[in-house]
Amino acid sequence: MSDIVEFKQDAAFHYHRGLKFELNNDWKSALNSFELAYDKEPDNELYRYTYTSMLSLNGLLEEAEKILFSYIIDGEDVEQYYQQLSEMYIQQQRPNDAFLFGLMYVQIADDDDYLNDMLEMYDVQYTSLYDILYEAEVYTTQYIFHHLFNQGKLKEAKEWLLIQNDEVMESRLIQNLLAMSYLFNEEYEEARTLLEHLLRIDQTDITALCHYTLLLYNLNETEAFENYLSTLKKIRPINDDQKLKLGVVLSFLKQYYDAYDLLFQIYKKKKSTNNLQLLIALMNSSYYIDKYDFAKKLYQYIQRQFKHYKVIAPWDYEADIHYVESIVQPLLHSEDSNDRLIGIFLLSHVKYRESLANPKYWTFTDQLIDREKLYLTHIFQQVQFKQVQPLHKGLQLIRAQFKVDDDFIEMAHIWIETIDDLNDIHQLTEKQLTALIGATIYHYYQSIGHKKTKKYICNEYNISLYALNKALDQLT
């Protein structure tokens, strides 16, 4: 019998260990321990509370928000999450957020003591408790919406708005957010109906005008779009909120000089440097009016401050577009089926899928034959089809060996022709297939006078010399 007594490292063990670190003000170690406890028992309210609170204390408020907002969206016992968020915002010295999220807790939990504490803390005077509670509902709804929307969770953001009560939904702010949500979820008829309703009520509503112009742009209603764009460019916003909305939309519509003028006015006040939407639009506008150094400065700042958000630098986007239009598109629109297969493969290697949002990059799908459609589905929908697996594995290994240039395309053609000539290609084991790919690449190197030895191929693809020679015999 062993004399070694093993400690049971369960959730409780990590939680109590975290408490000891917290007492010693070792917040980083406390966070690691609380995270382990939470991961083991995510339904435990105490572990959830200590973990998210410690995230905030470690400067990771966005991560804490992400967790707590997910519980609020689920809709069970939400008052405790509003209260905790209020406490976090107090710690972070964000009084407006602390007060309004705290009011949501007060409203749900009916906690008059907490209300009085906050009114005293923030020295708030009001004439109607109903009005400030309504303001809290609208504010927290849009705050959580923007959190989801900025993470690219467009469907979830829309659904969050749609579960709000009728009074909140009557807010013009919320209706404009819902219209924007319809727009970015490509639910264009719903967006049109709501935006036209908003503009009938107030034709000077800058937010609705911006979104309606975007809608016309997306629907290629050119004449109407040009008219509305002309109207947007004449607008003189009266506050920073209007400047931000107009500037972001003008940047999206590639009116970069006008966008820059509006957005930089806000930025230079140093009040909105944590507004991701502002920073991205200003970065893009700066880049496209040749203010490269400033654009790079903004990108570096975004990378530091918003580590959990995926933001594409405009120069990376332009590199993707150049790659697609100069190399991939000619292959996809070729009359040669093998070219189209290679084009589909290269399309899947665009650095950012967002670069492929333009429908013009997908017009090639109308001319695909069955094999090409199968390969497109295999790659982009990650559906496994045995028929195209040898093709795909070969192209993957070839791309690792060659740059995307004429050598790669020629080698890719040779591989496709090779598998088409072999009747038993689908009977090969994984190792045999790898050896065959290596043999095909070796043959190509020999044909162009490149001194790559068999030993090099064997090492590169982790195959034996026997397997390589056997594969070479198949090719002759």
Question: How do residues 206-219 score in pLDDT, each as one tens digit?
Answer: 999 999 999 999 99
pLDDT of residue 306: 82
Q: What is the pLDDT of residues 22-65, one digit of tens each?
A: 999 899 999 999 999 999 999 999 999 999 999 999 989 989 99
pLDDT given for residue 401 in this prediction: 87
Domain assignment present for residue 161? The answer is: no
Using the predicted structure, report yes or no on whether residue 5 has a pLDDT greater than 70: no
Residue ranges making up the domain that contains 461: 384-476
* pLDDT above 50 (res 283): yes
469 and 396, same domain (yes or no): yes
At 1, the pLDDT band (50, 70, 90 cuts) reads very low
Q: Verify that 390 and 472 share a domain, yes or no.
A: yes
Q: Do 438 and 402 touch, CB atoms closer than 8 A?
A: no
At which of 373, 395, 419 does a domain end?
A: 373
Query: pLDDT tens for residues 244-279?
Result: 999 999 999 999 999 999 999 999 887 557 788 899
**Domain-embedded: residue 167:** no
Taking each helix axis as running N to C, give the angle between helix 45-57 and helix 27-40, from 0 to 180 degrees, rounded to the nearest 10.
Answer: 150
pLDDT digit string (tens) for 122-142? 887 788 889 999 999 999 999
CA pair distance 214, 221, nearest whole angstrom: 10
> Does 395 share its domain with 453?
yes
Contacts of 73 (CB under 8 A, 6+ apart): 144, 156, 160
Together in a domain, 323 and 349: yes
* Alpha-carbon gap, residue 264 to 5, rounded angstroms: 64
Cβ-in-10-Å burial (0-12, 13-18, 19+) of 5 comes to exposed
Please indicate, yes or no, if residue 269 is contained in any of the structural domains.
no
User: Which pLDDT score is estimated for 450?
Assistant: 84
Record the tokens describing residue 52, joined without a space.
């998210």
Q: What whole-number percentage of the chain has pLDDT above 70?
A: 98
Query: For the CA atoms of 345, 346, 348, 349, what is the dihedral angle to 10 degrees?
Result: 130
- State the CB neighbour count (10 A cutoff) for residue 24: 10
Q: CB of 5 within 8 A of CB of 29?
A: no
- pLDDT per residue over 107-117, tens digit each? 999 999 998 88
Confidence of residue 385 (pLDDT cuts 50, 70, 90): confident
Report the pLDDT value the prediction gives residue 434, as an integer from 0 to 100.
Answer: 93
**Does 459 reside within a domain?**
yes
Asked if residue 195 is part of any domain, the answer here is no
Q: Is residue 63 part of a domain?
A: no
Q: What is the mean pLDDT of the chain?
A: 90
Looking at the fold, whether 464 and 402 belong to one and the same domain comes out as yes
CATH number reported for the structural domain that contains residue 435 in this entry: 1.10.472.10
Q: What are the start-end ranges of the H helices in 311-403?
A: 314-323, 329-332, 337-347, 370-380, 389-401
Which range has the worst mean pLDDT, 6-15, 228-237, 383-392, 442-451?
6-15
Under 8 Å between Cβ of 52 and 84: yes
